[in-house]
Amino acid sequence: MNWNSLQATQPVPIQLLKGSLVKEKLPHAFIFEGEEGTPKEEAAFHLAKAFLCINRQEAEPCQECPECRRIESGNHPDVMVIRPEGLSIKKAQVEQLQKEFTYKGMESEQKIYIVYQADTMTASAANSLLKFLEEPDGETLAVLLTDNLHFLLDTVISRSQVIHFSALQEEEKAEYFMSQGEGETVAALRAYLASEETLSNKEEPAAWIVQGRTLVIQLTEEVWKRPQQMLLTLQDKWLNHFIDRDDIQVGLDMFLYWYRDLLYTKLGHTKLAYPDQVERLQKEALYRKEQTIAWQMEAVLEAKRQLAANVNPQLLMERLLLRLQEGS
């Protein structure tokens, strides 16, 4: 990855970052704002490399020096990362960050910290961070990542440079994922999924998606043709793959796009999340009314709402499959 590959889909924000690096005029804090799926995280870590690289050429880090290599491997002592603990980032996490940074700087005065889902900070955590932003220790750079800028304190926003990452079109996302070595079928589906952070935390995201989409294809066929089998598949396979609530949200999105593809196929559209399943989609669409498919999509959306309301995941999925079968 380099700035050019990121700039292909995000020309304005990446040009701003490159310009700040070339002119040596980085602010002490950035907010990278954009919907889930935009390359905020990739840009943040590439910026960290450029910030600490000892052989940087204008804006581009060398990718070979010890600084770049340690950032790539995730163990650079002067790059700190904060993620939510549970549902929020807490004051103690920010205080620990500040404490850690007082001990750093043995190799360099430059330090960087990256905050995931910065909008989940509690009020006390945000106020603690605000003091850190107002009085940075040495050459410190902060990068706050958020999908919801309006949830951040106005005082935090006013002390940071906001970089807006624009939403990608599905074709652009698919091309990007294929450029990273993913197959066409995985890239096509991943381009539609909105849970990129969940996927990026997987050890092998592409393999996880392949297995997940295979289960969705199997379960939707069982809903249609073999309803006596679907609950067994749910118990034996689905719940072993989609383990926690974040996983299940992704799985429900996969279901949603299957039925959206079914509706699109019936209406004659060709832009699909499951492009390799055209033959089956066409066959199934012959037996479905548009109103029925729309009802099935609504059933999936209702399951997503229930999951957010902490309904038991297994019970939720059992109810969903039965509702989908009723409409088949």
Q: Where are the domains of the chain?
A: 3-164, 170-326
Q: Model confidence over 25-40: pLDDT tens digits? A: 899 999 999 977 688 9
CATH superfamily of this structure's domain 3-164: P-loop containing nucleotide triphosphate hydrolases (3.40.50.300)
Report how far residue 178's alpha carbon sits from residue 162's, in angstroms, rounded to the nearest whole number.
29
Residue 165 DSSP one-character state: P
Joined together, the tokens standing for residue 12 give: 């304005």
Residue 145 has φ and ψ, to the nearest 5°, of: -105, 130
When pLDDT is averaged across residues 1-20 and rounded to a whole number, the result is 89
Say which range, 54-68, 101-115, 205-219, 283-297, has the weakest mean pLDDT.
101-115
Report how far residue 246's alpha carbon sits from residue 197's, in angstroms, rounded to the nearest whole number.
10
Mean pLDDT score of the chain, rounded to an integer?
A: 89
Report how far residue 41's alpha carbon sits from residue 115's, in angstroms, rounded to the nearest whole number.
10
Higher-scoring residue by pLDDT: 194, 311: 311
Report how far residue 319's alpha carbon sits from residue 250's, in angstroms, rounded to the nearest whole number.
18
What angle is formed at CA 206 by the lines to CA 256 and CA 65, rounded to 5 degrees? 135
Report how far residue 190's alpha carbon sits from residue 2's, in angstroms, rounded to the nearest whole number.
21
pLDDT at 323 over 90: yes
Q: Find how far residue 187's CA is from the centre of its chain.
A: 14
Joined together, the tokens standing for residue 19 give: 């310009």
- pLDDT for 166: 87
Q: Domain 170-326 falls in which CATH fold?
A: Zinc Finger, Delta Prime; domain 3 (1.20.272)
Q: Model confidence over 123-162: pLDDT tens digits? A: 999 998 988 787 766 688 999 999 889 999 999 999 999 9
Q: Model confidence over 65-86: pLDDT tens digits? A: 999 999 999 889 889 999 999 8
The model's pTM = 0.60
User: Strand locations in the chain, DSSP E?
Assistant: 29-33, 79-82, 110-115, 139-146, 161-164
Residue that is written with structure tokens 């205080």 in the block: 95
